[in-house]
Amino acid sequence: MSKESIAKVHLIIEKIEYIEQIVQDAGSITGALEDVVTHRPAILMHLTAIAEQFNKLKQSHADDILSAFDDKDIKGMYDVRTYIAHDYEGVNLAIVEWIIRNGLPKFKTQCKRVINR
């Protein structure tokens, strides 16, 4: 594992923790997503950044790192990134909420395992 690839994993964790902080500040996931001025745009940007880091890992052939994640989960994250980028107003907030509630904790755990190998 290269230092550059591990740095990308650290950045994924950082972005997840930013989203966790946003949700905490808003009082709930729903509350954060209802705030169209500050919280929702920040969450969507951080989700996009997470997907971009996974894409960079894929492009750099960091298979040793990517093998720690489910291919479907990574594809799903990148699909959400594409949806955010190309149909911002049409983003399905129920999917975003599911990702925050279920997907991000899983990614965070997997990232920590990669770092601690």
pLDDT single digits (tens) 26-83:
999 999 999 999 999 999 999 999 999 999 999 999 999 999 999 999 999 999 999 8
Rounded CA-CA distance 101/60 in Å is 29
Distances (CA, A) of 68 to 43, 61, 63, 92: 24, 13, 9, 27
Burial class (CB in 10 A: 0-12, 13-18, 19+), 66: middle
